[in-house]
Chain A
């Protein structure tokens, strides 16, 4: 809302008492000590001062945060008290209190945290409010007898933080537990590595100064104890991973790591008890620590991206307006609807369930489900599907199916099945690990054999040393670090990547399948072509501005900036057109059929245009003036400005680009021709299941297949593809199914994503080569018997540092400022 002030016109030097943004000229109240830039701010100010929380303003000035105008929706939140809602989102605590987690919008600074956490002071019955700033949630503990959840929600809304139910619930707890385990492992591994290192310093110093044997034994025993803790506790994950890798016969980097750790520990233990020979506990514990840190860092970044995506789809409305027996409307959670209920769906809202229209007529945008870009007219008796959008006027709908039984619900099951069936991406590091194990084991065997001939006593010593220095520590760090850096940079550029594997897959060009509606095109109806005078367009717009229909809106929008004549006596006949009088003359905007019926035929020029528009998949309307038909307008989904260039950019990078849409094949052909996609690769009229089948078929060749789409109808395909990319404004289902999400509209971010992935992969490969180089040098030293524990201890961190600096130096994803929408 921050931009509203500038849109609304002249800014003044007066700043808003609540948010500090400039107040538009028209809203300045002369002589008043408080000034507000919008209604939201003044409402929030009243609540805040009314509750005695004025300190918020001093805090806000103190923390010097970004300014943002308040959003106050003024909703009743009565659905928060519904039984179904309570059973879904509210938990009873053993102490008799209730606990609920709400997601709040617009929390942006420390003062906001302070304000929200003051809830217990202003609302009796709330015993605590705990904010998680990063996830933008507040956990409430309250007494259900004394305060209702809707009351708390209203208060939050009044303060300028509209709440939503946090849908993550149990999943979030599981994730927290997983995060804690990760952290415990990293912490314990770090402590062990540090302590072993201290003891080793004594031993290394003793190497030169001749340590007394009794102390040497002591130090060796102590480092053995600590190493056992490190390898058996945090280090256990590598053994588990290696075991899984053996059992499933898929190469995994954990395998060579576990071999090094296992052999090192085994031979080290033997040497501790023998009292002679090298021990490598310092290298082994450091190895465990470094590798875990790398994985932890990557895990955290992926979590942050996944959280942001989740936040986005939690903001989609999940309520319905149910009409009671006496015609009274009550807001209920979608989950509370049952077949037979009647719901009211206002213009711009999406249908909460499948059902039949019982009252009202409107236009329905079903593009999320079908890909069909043109809105369909719907009236009493017509069926509507959950998830589609009511564009025109309010409708009453009798619910026929809810939840999993709806068309969308069934699609979601397909999506779940598709993602479960998808073969995991084989990571480059794991592929390398396969060869690595074989090579390292054979070199170790050769070393062992050769030393048996030269000096049998030293054979196990040198073979062990070789296995340890050949442990792919830097190799194991290279991928997580490079991917972490890439994910972080991508997030700053508005691209959220949920998994590092997706990034690796995107680096190798293959087939890129694009959805049409909303991805390549704008996803809304616009005037795309016109034959005839501008006067005709002006007159048409003058008539259409009185009609609430998306096609009418498109004509009106096309005339934006022109001065429109005034129209009188406007009459609308559904399916035929609009009639009215402009400056005493009779004008009409009609469907071609209605125009022909009324005027007995169109001029060849107009007839030609109408045919051409129809063959391009657009809707044609004819503007009729006092002297007969004057102009033809094509209304359709316009191709995005950047589409053609972006598709070309993808092609230059080696991708084959195809288009897959549920829309009319003619429209698909027309769009594909204009953006330069081969006609053979443009498929129209494909069902959601058909899209997923197409993707699976394309993947049968083993190549990378990327699906880019935004609708529910793309979700199954997104989940099936090697990598699914949901684009800006996508439906909840597609966000959930996709591996990456672009926060800016159009295909340009997709090009950035591909380019960033390529760069990240280049960094990974470079780092891998470096670490393999270190391993080779180390192995050579070990095989020739030139290595000791000290050299190994220096070699390993050196290689890890090289990889670290390579990863952070890499330039994947250039952050773009100012163009995030």
Chain B
């Protein structure tokens, strides 16, 4: 089970990456408007029909 000493820090590192990405996304304004993008996505899909 000594592998835990490697796996846990790696897991922590991955979690830190995820948090970092989230913080970046939030600060870049990706979550500012949650209503309009879904509408846009739906309409774009139809374009490809």
Interface residues of A (CB under 8 A from B): 58-59, 62-63, 110-111, 113-114, 117, 131-134, 176, 179-180, 183-184, 187-188, 191, 195, 212, 215, 218, 222, 225-226
Interface of A is mostly: helix
List 6 A-B pairs, minimum CB-CB distance, nearest first. A110-B39, A133-B36, A133-B35, A114-B43, A134-B35, A183-B26
Contacts of A212 in B (CB 8 A): 1
Contacts of A187 in B (CB 8 A): 19, 22-23, 26
- Minimum CB–CB distance from A538 to chain B (whole Å) comes to 55
Q: Cα distance A113–B36 when bound, in Å?
A: 8
Interface of B is mostly: helix
- Minimum CB–CB distance from A59 to chain B (whole Å) comes to 6
The contact of B19 among A111, A117, A191, A222, by CB within 8 Å, is A191
> Is B23 a contact of A179 with CB atoms below 8 Å?
no
> Is A176 a contact of B29 with CB atoms below 8 Å?
yes
- Minimum CB–CB distance from A491 to chain B (whole Å) comes to 15
Known: A179-B32, A187-B23, A222-B12. 12 other contacts (CB 8 A): A110-B39, A110-B42, A131-B36, A133-B36, A134-B33, A180-B27, A183-B26, A184-B23, A188-B22, A188-B23, A215-B4, A225-B12
A-B residue pairs in contact (CB < 8 Å), sample of 8: A59-B46, A134-B35, A179-B32, A187-B26, A188-B22, A191-B22, A195-B12, A222-B12
Look across to chain B and name the residue whose beta carbon is closest to the beta carbon of A112: B39
Contacts of B27 in A (CB 8 A): 180, 184
- Minimum CB–CB distance from B28 to chain A (whole Å) comes to 9
- Minimum CB–CB distance from B8 to chain A (whole Å) comes to 6
Contacts of B39 in A (CB 8 A): 63, 110, 113-114, 133
> Is A176 a contact of B36 with CB atoms below 8 Å?
no
Given contacts A131-B36, A133-B33, A218-B4, contact A113 B43 (CB under 8 A): yes
Most chain B CB atoms below 10 A, which of A134, A180, A218, A225: A180
- Minimum CB–CB distance from B30 to chain A (whole Å) comes to 9
Q: Cα distance A296–B10 when bound, in Å?
A: 31
Most chain B CB atoms below 10 A, which of A176, A184, A212, A222: A184
- Minimum CB–CB distance from B19 to chain A (whole Å) comes to 5
Contacts of B36 in A (CB 8 A): 113, 131-134
Residue interface mask B10-29, A partner, CB < 8 A = 1: 00100100110011001101
Q: Cα distance A110–B32 when bound, in Å?
A: 18
- Minimum CB–CB distance from B33 to chain A (whole Å) comes to 5
Q: Cα distance A195–B14 when bound, in Å?
A: 11
- Minimum CB–CB distance from B14 to chain A (whole Å) comes to 10
The contact of B40 among A113, A179, A195, A215, by CB within 8 Å, is A113
Look across to chain A and name the residue whose beta carbon is closest to the beta carbon of B39: A110
Look across to chain A and name the residue whose beta carbon is closest to the beta carbon of B33: A132
Most chain A CB atoms below 10 A, which of B18, B23, B39: B39
Q: Cα distance A100–B33 when bound, in Å?
A: 18
- Minimum CB–CB distance from A120 to chain B (whole Å) comes to 14
Contacts of A132 in B (CB 8 A): 32-33, 35-36
Contacts of B35 in A (CB 8 A): 132-134
> Is B43 a contact of A215 with CB atoms below 8 Å?
no
Q: Cα distance A179–B29 when bound, in Å?
A: 9
Q: Cα distance A801–B41 when bound, in Å?
A: 35
Q: Cα distance A63–B27 when bound, in Å?
A: 32
Contacts of A180 in B (CB 8 A): 26-27, 29, 31-32
Look across to chain B and name the residue whose beta carbon is closest to the beta carbon of A225: B12
Contacts of B1 in A (CB 8 A): 212, 215
- Minimum CB–CB distance from B36 to chain A (whole Å) comes to 4
Q: Cα distance A320–B31 when bound, in Å?
A: 38
The contact of A62 among B15, B29, B33, B46, by CB within 8 Å, is B46
> Is A218 a contact of B26 with CB atoms below 8 Å?
no
Given contacts A59-B43, A184-B27, A187-B26, contact A176 B32 (CB under 8 A): yes
Q: Cα distance A657–B48 when bound, in Å?
A: 63
Contacts of A222 in B (CB 8 A): 8, 12
Contacts of B15 in A (CB 8 A): 191, 195
Q: Cα distance A62–B19 when bound, in Å?
A: 38
Contacts of A111 in B (CB 8 A): 43
- Minimum CB–CB distance from A266 to chain B (whole Å) comes to 23
Contacts of A131 in B (CB 8 A): 36
Q: Cα distance A222–B31 when bound, in Å?
A: 30
Contacts of B12 in A (CB 8 A): 195, 222, 225-226
- Minimum CB–CB distance from A163 to chain B (whole Å) comes to 17
Q: Cα distance A582–B35 when bound, in Å?
A: 62
Q: Cα distance A187–B39 when bound, in Å?
A: 25
Contacts of A63 in B (CB 8 A): 39, 42
- Minimum CB–CB distance from B3 to chain A (whole Å) comes to 11
Q: Cα distance A226–B18 when bound, in Å?
A: 14
Q: Cα distance A117–B23 when bound, in Å?
A: 28
Contacts of B31 in A (CB 8 A): 180, 183
Most chain A CB atoms below 10 A, which of B18, B26, B31: B26
Look across to chain B and name the residue whose beta carbon is closest to the beta carbon of A134: B35
Look across to chain B and name the residue whose beta carbon is closest to the beta carbon of A130: B36
Q: Cα distance A188–B27 when bound, in Å?
A: 13
Contacts of A195 in B (CB 8 A): 12, 15
- Minimum CB–CB distance from B17 to chain A (whole Å) comes to 11
> Is A117 a contact of B4 with CB atoms below 8 Å?
no
Look across to chain B and name the residue whose beta carbon is closest to the beta carbon of A111: B43
Contacts of A133 in B (CB 8 A): 33, 35-36, 39
Q: Cα distance A801–B8 when bound, in Å?
A: 31
- Minimum CB–CB distance from A18 to chain B (whole Å) comes to 19
Q: Cα distance A184–B29 when bound, in Å?
A: 11
Contacts of B26 in A (CB 8 A): 180, 183-184, 187
Q: Cα distance A517–B29 when bound, in Å?
A: 45
- Minimum CB–CB distance from B15 to chain A (whole Å) comes to 6
Contacts of A179 in B (CB 8 A): 32
Q: Cα distance A134–B32 when bound, in Å?
A: 10
- Minimum CB–CB distance from B4 to chain A (whole Å) comes to 6
Q: Cα distance A131–B37 when bound, in Å?
A: 9
Contacts of B43 in A (CB 8 A): 59, 110-111, 113-114
> Is A188 a contact of B19 with CB atoms below 8 Å?
yes
Look across to chain A and name the residue whose beta carbon is closest to the beta carbon of B19: A191
- Minimum CB–CB distance from A188 to chain B (whole Å) comes to 6
Q: Cα distance A58–B47 when bound, in Å?
A: 11
Contacts of B40 in A (CB 8 A): 110, 113-114, 117
Contacts of A183 in B (CB 8 A): 26, 31
Look across to chain A and name the residue whose beta carbon is closest to the beta carbon of B41: A110
Look across to chain A and name the residue whose beta carbon is closest to the beta carbon of B23: A184
Q: Cα distance A179–B30 when bound, in Å?
A: 12
Look across to chain B and name the residue whose beta carbon is closest to the beta carbon of A177: B27
Look across to chain A and name the residue whose beta carbon is closest to the beta carbon of B42: A110
Q: Cα distance A113–B42 when bound, in Å?
A: 11
Q: Cα distance A58–B31 when bound, in Å?
A: 29
- Minimum CB–CB distance from B13 to chain A (whole Å) comes to 12
- Minimum CB–CB distance from A34 to chain B (whole Å) comes to 23
Q: Cα distance A195–B22 when bound, in Å?
A: 15
